[in-house]
Amino acid sequence: MTEPLPLEGLTAIVTGAGRGLGRAEALELARLGAAVVVNDYGQPGRDGSGEASAGPAEEVADEIRSAGGQAVAHTGDVADHQQAGRLVELAIAEFGKLDILVNNAGILRDRMVFSMTEGEWDAVIRVHLKGHFNTTRFAAAHWRERSKAAAGPVYGRIVNTSSEAFLAGSAGQPNYAAAKGGIVGLTTSTALALAKYGVTANAICPRARTRMTEDVFAGLDQPESGLDPLAPEHVAPLVGYLASPAAERVNGQLMVVHGGMVVVVERPRVQAKFDSKQDTFTYDELDALLTPHYARRPAEETFAAAEVLGLKRE
């Protein structure tokens, strides 16, 4: 008798699943036994430009079904509140319930902060941060209702997609870095709010070669044989794990993942503490305390996160 698959009987939504990371994640969840709602708006431009198309989502859903899995395509825009609601409704209508939400959809509109337009800022925040909120809001309502009906915890997993651009900075991506930082805040808040219902929420910072990162990794050649260290397939197993029953004690966490490596990132810790000798600080007192403190520290310490994660500072 064969062992049941880790996600057998569970239903997952993966947004932005028509290409790249989302596609790899959708295929992995299906391989692990989940029925998958493959969401992708299908615009060809990584900046969110071009006509929307059902093609990418339908192709991945077909690929899952051809391998013997269950899948349905959804081609709505998750940054649209109502369409995100309909995405959750589709999962429930097709498969009876929703158990796993993987938020991956995103676009890029890179520019230095002194050149960025309001539209470029708004577009990236809308797709990444609002898109994550929209799907989370409807999934959370579904789990809360189920928990109330069951008079106890239910099964729910959220895996959000942040970025090392938030952790270590990215000079030409102020909109993207801000959105990815906001996603971490959304994740930790959601983790606290939904824990009593049996739901976990975690975020990953994936490093992978996709159309979103073609400029970042343009100078890194792919190996002639074997799996590319930057292949999205290195990221997908962690998503599968976080979506599984085995990860029931993993909640509110941030992990960096790429090329066979997973880094669990600590929450910020206090580095130093200063107390005023008066009722409140004066400028002179702060100058006397803080200026020497930073003067004693090497400038590179400011970029400690980048060094730990193996990033290069431009």
Residue (of 264, 96, 234, 275) closest to 167 by Cα position: 264
Question: How far is Cα 21 from Cα 33, in angstroms, rounded to an integer?
Answer: 19
Cβ-Cβ contacts under 8 Å for 68 (sequence gap 6 or more): none
Count the alpha carbons within 13 Å of 137 in the hemisphere toward its beta carbon.
15
* Annotated catalytic residue within 147, 162, 163, 244: 163
Residues 176, 197, 241, 244: which is the catalytic one?
A: 176
Question: CA of 250: how far to CAs of 155, 202, 279, in Å?
Answer: 13, 8, 43
Task: Name the pairing type of β-strands 100-102 and 11-14.
Answer: parallel
Is 241 annotated as catalytic? no
* 267: enclosing H helix or E strand: none
312 a catalytic residue: no
| Whole-number Å distance between alpha carbons of 181 and 175 | 10
DSSP secondary structure letter of residue 208: -
In sequence order, the β-bridge partners of residue 71 are 36
Is 277 among the catalytic positions? no
Active-site residue, from 155, 162, 170, 180: 180
Whether residue 23 contacts residue 60, with contact meaning beta carbons closer than 8 Å, is answered with yes
Q: How far apart are CA 180 and CA 139, in angstroms?
A: 20
Q: For residue 207, give both structure tokens.
A: 């490093």
Tell me which residue of 134, 144, 159 sits closest to 28, measured CA to CA.
159
Catalytic residues: 163, 176, 180
